[in-house]
């Protein structure tokens, strides 16, 4: 005889245990922006269509705006396009289709048009169609619009495509980003002064879309050739105008390409210390046109930076050594390395670099508070991605507490999703000024990093006085919790510790230990046990 256990109450301070395991990318008929963004992220992060230059996002809007809802899903994939993809899976796209099957357990050869009601399936089908028919994806919006009309939607209006794309880019997805952003720019002889100026314009275009400030985004620049020198350090300039002026004042050197010296200087100078009150994501964007004097030294120097939590994007222009820049970039390197044919193209990747850098991961250790995090004072939403390491210090798990001043905060969490969101998460809590959020994360049965996405927004309430310093704090504490369990059989309540429950669950043949983190909320049929142990 089996007994069903059901979580009844968590004793510690009324803490809620959330384990929703939500994934809107697999929900038929879902068309929300959250589902679209989560779908694109899955496709990019698994290197199916890594360098799409924002095309897949623009395409989702254009297709939904110009074609009535059909069984082709968000990307309005037609039966003919799906047939083309299935046929290509036996030929030119065989390797890529095998990757889709491995990463997503989706056999493209058996997909039906009705399957594409799921956002992920629609996105995968369109991505494969693009690889078969449009590749390489153009960088410019106007050329993407023409490719859309030529290969995907012959009735499409290219002018409207560009208009919709411009509207997308009006959204400030970098509002209040807490980031220390370092540009490493190649000033060697092969670049030339004209191309060096184009690099500076690229930097300014990225900065123009950021919130510059001591507790928001700080910018630094290192230029390198046969030597490396700090043009200006983090925090030296605290306004957008000042940063732009400083970038324009950087001069061209000429000489050899010692990329490793610049990376070492970044580690020992720029990222060595911080004067911030709050912690921030560390991001490095490397722009180079050629091959460094030593690939081995460059890759080794980049590894040291990545080991200290720096996210590295590499941009190779004209004739880079791809192996070097891919090895130097953060994982997945298919999304952190961009290969450009000309410096004339560099301005077309501003949107992609800006969006990706703003979502770079902030690393926080268990037990180290994430404090004084500014919330945008304007009516905008801020997104911060945090990886909590060392979540296995306690016997059972980690307590995450969120407190807010003049704002509203929603936190999404997951172990197996490196950027949880409204569309895809396992845990979720909300917090306001008067109601702090508390989340108890159960220790996994294997060492793991817990991923958080923190969405914050200023609280606009005419009934309260104006708040000049909206912010939130997040604390991480390794802790154990006691849990009340109710026997469904006879309605008897028994107090069990989390270790007791873990012992019960791991003895149960119906529960895999890896799923222990979600077992507190859902009822399961367990082996007959009359007491906690």
DSSP labels, 139-180: SSHHHHHHHIIIII-TT--HHHHHHHHHHHTTS-TTTT--EE
Q: In this structure, is the dihedral angle defined by the CA atoms of residues 85, 91, 92 and 97, taken in order, positive or negative?
A: positive
Q: What is the pLDDT of residue 374?
A: 85
Eight-class DSSP state of 513: G
pLDDT at 349: 86
Q: What's the pLDDT score for residue 519?
A: 31
**Measuring CA to CA, which residue among 75, 152, 72, 84 is closest to residue 116?**
72
Bridge partners, residue 471, by sequence? 374, 405
What CA–CA distance (Å, rounded) separates 422 from 410? 9
Q: Are 288 and 320 in contact (CB under 8 A)?
A: yes
User: Which helix (H) or strand (E) element contains residue 70?
Assistant: none
Identify the pLDDT of residue 181: 94
CA atoms of 55 and 172, how far apart (whole Å): 18
Q: Is 170 exposed, middle or buried (0-12, 13-18, 19+ CB in 10 A)?
A: exposed
Please tell me the predicted confidence (pLDDT) of residue 447. Answer: 60
Residue 191: count other Cβ atoms within 10 Å of its Cβ: 26
pLDDT for position 203? 94
Question: Which pLDDT does position 194 carry in this prediction?
Answer: 94
136: preceding bond cis by omega (within 30 degrees): yes
**Could you tell me where the beta strands, DSSP code E, fall in 175-260?**
179-186, 217-224, 228-232
Is-contact 197 191, C-beta < 8 A? Answer: no
Closest of 70, 148, 152 to residue 113, by C-alpha: 70
Q: In which element (H, E) is residue 35 found?
A: helix 33-45
Give phi and psi for 370, each to the nearest 5. -110, 85
Q: Which long-range contacts (CB under 8 A, 24 or more apart) does 68-73 make?
A: 71/113, 71/114, 71/116, 71/117, 72/113, 72/116, 72/122, 73/116, 73/117, 73/118, 73/119, 73/121, 73/122, 73/123, 73/125
- Neighbouring-strand partners of residue 219: 181
Residue from 481, 473, 477 nearest 501 by CA? 481
Q: Which two tokens stand for residue 337?
A: 């390395």
Instruction: Assess contact for 364 and 389: CB atoms under 8 A.
Output: yes
Residue 363 is predicted with a pLDDT of: 79
d(CA 523, CA 308): 41
* CA-to-CA dists, residue 233 to 150, 174, 216, 244, 274, angstroms: 47, 21, 15, 14, 11
Contact 267, 254 (CB under 8 A): no
3-state secondary structure of 345: helix
Closest CA to 458 of 411, 407, 405, 409: 407
Give the distance, in angstroms, between the CA of residue 189 and the centroid of all CA atoms in the same chain: 36
pLDDT value at position 466?
65
Residue 58's H or E segment, with its range, is: helix 55-66
Q: Tell me which DSSP letter residue 74 carries.
A: T
Question: What is the radius of gyration, based on Cα positions, of the chain?
Answer: 25
Residues 338-380 pLDDT 10s: 999 899 888 888 888 888 888 888 877 656 678 888 888 777 8
Euclidean distance between CA atoms 105 and 201, whole angstroms: 43
Given a contact cutoff of 8 angstroms between Cβ atoms, the answer to whether 193 and 252 are in contact is yes
Taking alpha carbons only, the member of 81, 96, 24 closest to residue 334 is 96
pLDDT under 50: residue ranges of the chain: 1-20, 392, 482-490, 495, 505, 508-533
Structure tokens belonging to residue 150: 């030529």
Q: Hey, how many other C-beta atoms are within 10 angstroms of the C-beta on 93?
A: 21
Structure tokens at 283: 């991001």
Q: What are phi and psi of 235, to 5 degrees?
A: 80, -5
**Which residues is 440 bridged to in the sheet?**
399
Euclidean distance between CA atoms 220 and 231, whole angstroms: 7
């Amino acid at each position: 005889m089996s007994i069903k256990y059901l979580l009844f109450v968590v004793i510690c301070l009324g803490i809620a245990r959330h384990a929703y395991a939500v994934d809107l990318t697999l929900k038929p008929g879902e068309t929300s922006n959250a589902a679209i963004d989560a779908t694109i992220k899955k496709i990019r992060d698994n290197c199916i269509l890594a360098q799409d230059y924002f095309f897949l996002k623009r395409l989702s809007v254009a297709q939904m705006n110009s074609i009535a809802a059909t069984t082709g899903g968000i990307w309005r994939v037609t039966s003919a396009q799906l047939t083309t993809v299935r046929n290509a899976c036996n030929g030119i796209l065989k390797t890529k289709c095998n990757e889709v099957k491995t990463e997503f357990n989706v056999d493209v050869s058996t997909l039906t048009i009705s399957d594409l009601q799921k956002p992920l399936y629609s996105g995968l089908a369109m991505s494969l169609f693009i690889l078969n028919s449009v590749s390489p994806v153009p960088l410019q919006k106007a050329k993407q619009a023409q490719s859309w009309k030529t290969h995907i939607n012959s009735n499409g209006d290219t002018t409207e495509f560009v208009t919709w794309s411009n509207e997308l880019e009006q959204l400030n997805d970098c509002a209040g980003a807490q980031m220390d952003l370092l540009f490493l720019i190649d000033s060697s002889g092969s670049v030339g002064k004209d191309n060096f100026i184009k690099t500076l314009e690229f930097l300014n275009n990225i900065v123009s879309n950021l919130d510059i400030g001591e507790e928001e985004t700080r910018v630094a620049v290192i230029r390198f050739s046969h030597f490396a020198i700090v043009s200006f350090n983090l925090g030296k300039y605290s306004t957008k105008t000042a940063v732009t002026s400083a970038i324009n004042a950087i001069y061209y050197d000429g000489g050899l390409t010692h990329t490793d010296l610049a990376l070492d200087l970044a580690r020992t100078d720029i990222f060595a210390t911080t004067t911030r009150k709050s912690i921030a994501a560390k991001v490095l964007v490397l722009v180079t046109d050629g091959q460094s004097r030593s690939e081995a030294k460059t890759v080794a120097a980049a590894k040291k930076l990545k080991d200290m939590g720096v996210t590295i994007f590499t941009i190779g222009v004209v004739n880079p050594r791809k192996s070097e820049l891919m090895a130097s970039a953060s994982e997945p390197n298919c999304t952190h390395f961009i290969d450009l044919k000309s410096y004339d193209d560099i301005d077309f990747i501003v949107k992609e670099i800006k969006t990706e850098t703003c979502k770079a991961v902030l690393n926080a250790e268990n037990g180290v508070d994430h404090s004084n995090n500014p919330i945008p004072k304007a009516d905008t939403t801020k997104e911060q991605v945090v990886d909590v390491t060392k979540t296995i210090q306690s016997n059972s798990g980690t307590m995450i507490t969120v407190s807010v001043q003049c704002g509203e905060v929603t936190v999404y969490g997951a172990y197996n999703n490196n950027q949880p969101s409204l569309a895809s998460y396992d845990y979720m809590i909300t917090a306001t000024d008067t109601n702090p959020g508390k989340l108890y994360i159960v220790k996994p049965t294997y060492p793991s990093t817990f991923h958080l996405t923190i969405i914050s927004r200023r609280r606009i309430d005419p009934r309260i006085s104006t708040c000049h310093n909206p912010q939130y704090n997040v604390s991480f504490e390794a802790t154990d919790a006691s849990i009340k369990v109710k026997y469904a059989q006879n309605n008897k309540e028994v107090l069990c510790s989390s270790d007791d429950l873990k012992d019960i669950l791991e003895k149960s043949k119906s529960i895999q230990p890896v799923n222990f983190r979600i077992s507190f909320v859902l009822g399961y049929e367990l082996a007959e046990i009359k007491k906690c142990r």
